[in-house]
Chains A and B, each alone.
Chain A
């Protein structure tokens, strides 16, 4: 019953007054930015990163994690009542959620979304505590060869799951890796790729990348469009009928399972999970024609899936030390700020932190149900804040967030440059996410690649000779090969086009 004692230890940490408070702050902020379209969890967490320096490690991670899964809840509110995805992950929910709201069942849709998210959050939290230790034990056996192959598999996954062209995703990964390599590398004392700028000796700060790409670029693009009239559908009763509850039971469970699995995949996370779950329910349903017209399964499944995926995407970071998406990269950054190296040793060396964070996710999910259901009217009011008032505030948070990492102007200039680059990228059909993944994984891959080659005396065959590594590489090759099949290609295009 080690599991129970671990969870008990975690709960003790999670209910410390300070941790409860910051968990609440996190989920509140998360709900807020989740409700508001135009600002996402990555940018928010990145901006707050410098502030977390002053908090104890567990508290800061608890707050940041709260922002992430809080945003999943908030995003569904906007999706259901306004037909706008407050968060990219809630795109699938707009399809049936808004239709339900128009049919006068908006309250029920919100309630089911919250219940589904809570169930998913609970199950995913349990899954992390069950499978986490095993994964970490496996990871301890990994050498540089295995780590390199694992990260390569991760990048291939993220390419396959990227929305646009595969080739463009590869290019962005390569460029991201290059940016990640700037600064001092581990084996030589001289800074590299800095054009002689001394302040760049520590490399480009991740916050500058995240705030540039997910903050500034986003505003530049938003201001090109006419501000959208936000019209919330009025809501009558909050309680779902017995019938609706019964109909949601299966979708919630299936969504949770699918989301949990997809969340672990690199580059996957919550977005893919929600679309996958929606498609699955439509396929399984005896009345697929009701989807898009207010089928409750079309709300229950993606909402459960995105919350489960949000939660299980912590597994690769906490057990392997490999962040699987931009959010997890911010979490890795937060851990590094606190002097904790992400990886399998977190669970043993910082056991209270690990289990405290896991337990706090469950506590936070409970808070979110309370926050989101009775207070839904408040969140809808918030949506009435027009973008003309909102965007100067976002610019303000971006600017302060970047500056306060190191208190120097250079980071601000870098973020502006990256924001401009991001704008051009979007205009030319490139995506930001592969770049960010390349940026994070690049230095780790180079390091492990170099070490592996040193150990094997310059023989690249070492990557296929070691069984675990070979298995990972075969998996990567199979994924790429599958992409070439016409059927898979078509399904991928269909699954991702609605974004």
Chain B
């Protein structure tokens, strides 16, 4: 915990590490794609160059920023981030089989837990309005090919 708190003040170091991780993931994605040569570049030529540039930039940022302390710590509020992600993920997994009405109701109900500005009494109404909107306007009206009810 203490380490985390100390890290939060080092925005530049964190930013560098973030870019370094992105670069490494990119390198992993490139794998052993063919590089080719300067005249006839293979599919791996440019992506590999980009990935290495990211790795280099991230390393550079992390090293030069390691000792710099920011004016404010990096503060992450987990609740909205996690709850909103969950709400949208649920929509994605449900909509195909359970239909848009159920998917909208569940994801809206979850989304309204993302912050305590929501009022619990209002949630059922918001769910109902959005579900009706989805079924009537988007599916019936605009003709999106999404099932309304479970199939």
Interface residues of A (CB under 8 A from B): 50-51, 54, 167-168, 170-171, 174-175, 177-178, 181-182, 185, 187-188, 190, 192-195, 216, 219-220, 223-224, 227, 386-389, 391-393, 395-396, 398-400, 403-404, 407-409, 411-413, 415-416, 419-420, 423-425, 427-430, 446, 449-450, 453-454, 457-458, 460
Contact = CB atoms under 8 A, between A and B. Distances in A.
Contacts of A223: 77, 80, 84, 114-115, 117
Contacts of B4: none
Interface in B44-91: 44-47, 50-51, 53-54, 57-58, 61, 74-77, 80-81, 84-85, 87-89, 91
Contacts of A409: 92-93, 95-96
B37 to A, nearest CB: 7
A103 to B, nearest CB: 33
Given A403-B95, A404-B144, A420-B85, A187 B15 contact: no
Given A54-B142, A192-B44, A428-B11, A216 B57 contact: no
B50 A174 contact: yes
User: Which A-B residue pairs are the 8 nearest by beta carbons?
Assistant: A412-B92, A458-B39, A458-B38, A223-B80, A409-B92, A428-B15, A399-B91, A223-B115
Interface of B: 11, 14-15, 18-19, 22, 26, 29-30, 33-34, 37-47, 50-51, 53-54, 57-58, 61, 74-77, 80-81, 84-85, 87-89, 91-93, 95-96, 100, 103-104, 107-108, 111-112, 114-115, 117-119, 122, 126, 130, 133-134, 138, 142-146
B47 A181 contact: yes
A327 B95 CA distance: 28
B57 A170 contact: yes
Contact of A185 (B22, B43, B108): B43
B43 A412 contact: no
B115 A174 contact: no
A460 B39 CA distance: 10
Contact of B84 (A174, A220, A430): A220
B54 A391 contact: no
Given A219-B84, A457-B39, A427 B108 contact: no
B44 A51 contact: no
A393 to B, nearest CB: 6
A192 B47 contact: yes
A220 B29 contact: no
A396 B108 contact: yes
Main secondary structure of the interface of B (DSSP, over half): helix
Nearest to A399: B91
Given A167-B61, A429-B11, A458-B39, A51 B47 contact: no
Nearest to B144: A404
A412 B30 contact: no
A178 B26 contact: yes
A283 to B, nearest CB: 31
A428 B13 CA distance: 10
Main secondary structure of the interface of A (DSSP, over half): helix
Given A223-B114, A392-B112, A428 B41 contact: no
A192 B85 CA distance: 27
Given A171-B19, A190-B43, A416 B85 contact: yes
A102 B51 CA distance: 53
B87 A430 contact: no
A413 B40 contact: no
B117 A430 contact: no
Contacts of B91: 399, 403, 412
A13 B138 CA distance: 27
Contact of B43 (A168, A188, A458): A188
A427 B76 contact: yes
A412 B88 contact: yes
A435 to B, nearest CB: 11
A170 B95 CA distance: 38
Contact of B46 (A392, A430, A446): A446
A178 B47 contact: yes
Contacts of A171: 19, 54, 57-58, 61
Contacts of B115: 223, 388, 391
Contacts of A386: 117
Contacts of B107: 395-396, 399
Contacts of A195: 29
Given A409-B92, A419-B84, 14 more contacts: A193-B29, A223-B115, A388-B112, A388-B118, A395-B88, A399-B91, A399-B92, A403-B92, A404-B138, A412-B89, A412-B92, A413-B92, A425-B18, A454-B40
A458 B37 contact: yes
